[in-house]
Chains A and B, each alone.
Chain A
Amino acid sequence: MFSILFDATKCVGCRGCQVACKRWNELEAETTELGTTFTNPPDLTSNTWIYMNFMEEIAQSPEDVKISWEFTRMSCMHCDDPACVHVCPTNAISKLQEGPVIIDQSQCMGCKYCIQACPFHVPRFDEEQGVVFKCTMCADRVGVGTPPACVKSCVAGALSFDDKETILSQAKVRAAKINGIIYGEKEAGGTNVIYILPRPAGELGLREPSSESAGSYWRSLLTKISAIGLAGAAAFGVLGFIIGRRDLLMSEKEE
């Protein structure tokens, strides 16, 4: 199984990955507006499957004004146990052996359940086509042993591609060296995109799902629902018995 490694400490924010993704997947350009940061486009859409989040911080002291930048990759994490695959009623979403999680738009009925289920809030609904789109990890390239377009285009060496074990061991070595944080190893039960971050994920604008996988989350929720149901039924049973007993005693007393 393959994985992508994103080392945020090496990224220069050139947006080459964004362009490469658009080119390889033949995604139309979109008119965007610059917001309060240099992040552009501002969010994922059905035509934008990856964007770099620019975090600007101004450190100001009486002598010096410094702007520091942090760049974070925003795209599908290709979960090991994808919630979108569990909930998709038409089996339009599948997890490939090589690692990518892909959507077959010809099967998608546009229920948007995958959007609700995704712990990273990645899939996007296309109003015109009535179906959902997201990053495919360039499954067509990965299938023939070629890295995804974003990885291939990365000039700073922030993105690399290899089998998951190699990627994880590289991430651990690098994180230990720079005192960084690994993101994606445990989140949502583990993913096929691993990040090395200089700071905690939440501070960089990334979602922080628990380490529970989609499957174990669902099993645990159903167990809790059943336990409450049984406890409620038992409580009503006891209450019914008490009321019944009281009525019986009262009627005996009246007689």
Chain B
Amino acid sequence: MGYEWSWLVSGALFFGGLAGGSYVLAFGGYMLNEEKYRNFSKVGYLIAFPSAILCVLLLAVDLGTPTRFINIRNITSMIMLGSIILGFFMLLSLLSIIGSEESVIFPQITFARRTRLILGGFGSFFALGTVMYTALLLGASFGRPFWGTPLLPYLFLVSGVLTGLAAIGLGLLIRDDWRESFPTYKVEMTTSDISFHFLELFILILYLGTVNAPTAVEALITGELNSYFILGVLVIGLIIPLILALYSMQKKAVSNRIIGFTFALVLIGGFVLRYVIVVGGQIVPSL
């Protein structure tokens, strides 16, 4: 069966969450300890901007007539509000890359500390707005009760931060000089990873238990989306990474490959979560 919104929109919502989550974490790290989290913040900003671009691109590709994107003018539509939020966020996240210390792309430019703080503050506001937008876009759909729950924005927020953390972790493992700094964040990253996993699991259970859309919930648990949900979201995205994170907390010497593998699983789980929610919401009782 075909659905109006499928992989492309799911991908857009995933990258929107990833962009916002990684930006907030990058700025959070910068605020906590500028010296210690320099590489962490740098990687976070480097992930946020292209992810936001991918979010917009995927949404645009899904349009039937993309050239009419310029026709957007209804301020009450979440697409219009989202476009404004994403526009500001893309600009601020690009400036954050340019202005960060020892920037990878523009090493000759560094903004003053005060400018970076103001930029990060506004950027985080729009980053959170971007993550919330990905859920409110669905929530505003009056005809889809599976999306019309106040818990969805918070589920996407926690998932966005979790995938942001995983993407930053993976990013840090790519380059030699960044990889060297990884052990300094390892404890904090693992602790945060475990906390966000439990929080996401809690909100997910609460969401599925309270949402007034039995057909959609059934599709996820026992129906056509069952394998995506059980295997993709729960096993790959939550349970295995949680076990590996708990294991790495116990054992100090865990190879970077296992850590990288854990982060990759979190990213896959985050994407599949968006997919089952986007498609699940469109499964309605047959007439």
A89 within 8 A of B: yes
Of all chain B residues, which has the CB nearest A232?
A: B154
Mark A208-219 against chain B: 1 for CB-CB distance below 8 A, else 0.
010000100110
* Interface window among B49-57, B105-113, B144-152, B240-248: B144-152
B250 within 8 A of A: no
| In the complex, chain A residues 78-92 whose Cβ is within 8 Å of any chain B Cβ | 83, 86-92
How far is B285's CA from A121's CA once the two chains are assembled, in angstroms?
11
Find chain A residues with CB under 8 A from B71 CB.
Answer: 89-92, 107, 109
B255 within 8 A of A: no
* Interface window among B30-38, B61-69, B258-266: B61-69
B205 within 8 A of A: no
Mark B140-167 against chain A: 1 for CB-CB distance below 8 A, else 0.
1111100010110110000000000000
Option from A90, A125, A224 in Cβ contact (under 8 Å) with B68: A90
How far is B142's CA from A27's CA once the two chains are assembled, in angstroms?
28
Of all chain A residues, which has the CB nearest B72?
A: A89
Contact A83 B142 (CB under 8 A): yes
Contact A117 B76 (CB under 8 A): no
B77 within 8 A of A: yes
Contact A109 B66 (CB under 8 A): yes
How far is B140's CA from A207's CA once the two chains are assembled, in angstroms?
19
Of all chain B residues, which has the CB nearest A120?
A: B143
Find chain A residues with CB under 8 A from B143 CB.
Answer: 83, 116-121, 209
How far is B72's CA from A229's CA once the two chains are assembled, in angstroms?
29
B249 within 8 A of A: no
Number of chain A residues close to chain B: CB under 8 A: 45
| In the complex, chain B residues 117-159 whose Cβ is within 8 Å of any chain A Cβ | 136, 138-144, 148, 150-151, 153-154
Task: With both chains docked as a complex, state the minimum distance between the C-beta of A106 and any C-beta of chain B, in angstroms.
Answer: 9
Contact B154 A88 (CB under 8 A): no
How far is B68's CA from A88's CA once the two chains are assembled, in angstroms?
13
Q: Beyond the given A86-B77, A90-B74, A91-B71, could you list 5 further A-B residue pairs with CB under 8 A, ordered by the A residue number? A: A109-B72, A118-B143, A125-B64, A206-B287, A228-B154
Option from A130, A206, A228 in Cβ contact (under 8 Å) with B65: A130
Task: With both chains docked as a complex, state the minimum distance between the C-beta of A61 and any C-beta of chain B, in angstroms.
Answer: 27
Contact A87 B150 (CB under 8 A): no
Find chain A residues with CB under 8 A from B139 CB.
Answer: 221, 225
Find chain A residues with CB under 8 A from B72 CB.
Answer: 89-90, 109
Contact B74 A88 (CB under 8 A): yes
Contact B142 A228 (CB under 8 A): no
Contact B154 A221 (CB under 8 A): no
A200 within 8 A of B: no
How far is B76's CA from A91's CA once the two chains are assembled, in angstroms?
10
Would you give 25 A-B contacts (Cβ < 8 Å), ordered by A?
Answer: A86-B77, A87-B79, A88-B77, A89-B73, A89-B74, A89-B77, A91-B71, A109-B64, A109-B72, A111-B79, A112-B4, A113-B78, A116-B282, A117-B140, A119-B142, A129-B65, A131-B64, A132-B64, A206-B287, A207-B287, A218-B142, A221-B150, A224-B150, A225-B136, A228-B151
How far is B69's CA from A116's CA once the two chains are assembled, in angstroms?
19
The 7 closest A-B pairs by CB, nearest first: A110-B64, A130-B64, A83-B142, A109-B68, A224-B150, A89-B79, A205-B287
Known: A90-B68, A109-B69, A130-B63. A118 touches B74 (CB 8 A): no
Number of chain B residues close to chain A: CB under 8 A: 36
Could you tell me which B residues sit within 8 Å of A by CB distance?
Answer: 4-5, 62-66, 68-69, 71-74, 76-80, 83, 136, 138-144, 148, 150-151, 153-154, 281-282, 284, 287
Could you tell me which A residues sit within 8 Å of B by CB distance?
Answer: 53, 83, 86-92, 107-113, 115-121, 125-127, 129-132, 188, 205-207, 209, 214, 217-218, 221, 224-225, 227-229, 232
Contact B64 A107 (CB under 8 A): no
Task: With both chains docked as a complex, state the minimum distance between the C-beta of A107 and any C-beta of chain B, in angstroms.
Answer: 5
Known: A109-B64, A113-B79, A130-B63. A91 touches B141 (CB 8 A): no
Contact B64 A112 (CB under 8 A): yes
Task: With both chains docked as a complex, state the minimum distance between the C-beta of A85 and any C-beta of chain B, in angstroms.
Answer: 8
Find chain B residues with CB under 8 A from A107 CB.
Answer: 68, 71
Of all chain B residues, which has the CB nearest A119?
A: B143
Contact A113 B77 (CB under 8 A): yes
Option from A53, A87, A228, A229 in Cβ contact (under 8 Å) with B141: A87
How far is B30's CA from A186's CA once the two chains are assembled, in angstroms?
53
Find chain A residues with CB under 8 A from B74 CB.
Answer: 88-91
Contact B142 A117 (CB under 8 A): yes
Find chain A residues with CB under 8 A from B141 CB.
Answer: 83, 87, 113, 116-117
Find chain B residues with CB under 8 A from A132 CB.
Answer: 64
Contact A129 B64 (CB under 8 A): yes
Known: A112-B5, A116-B4, A221-B148. A121 touches B68 (CB 8 A): no
Known: A89-B80, A90-B73, A91-B73. A110 touches B5 (CB 8 A): no
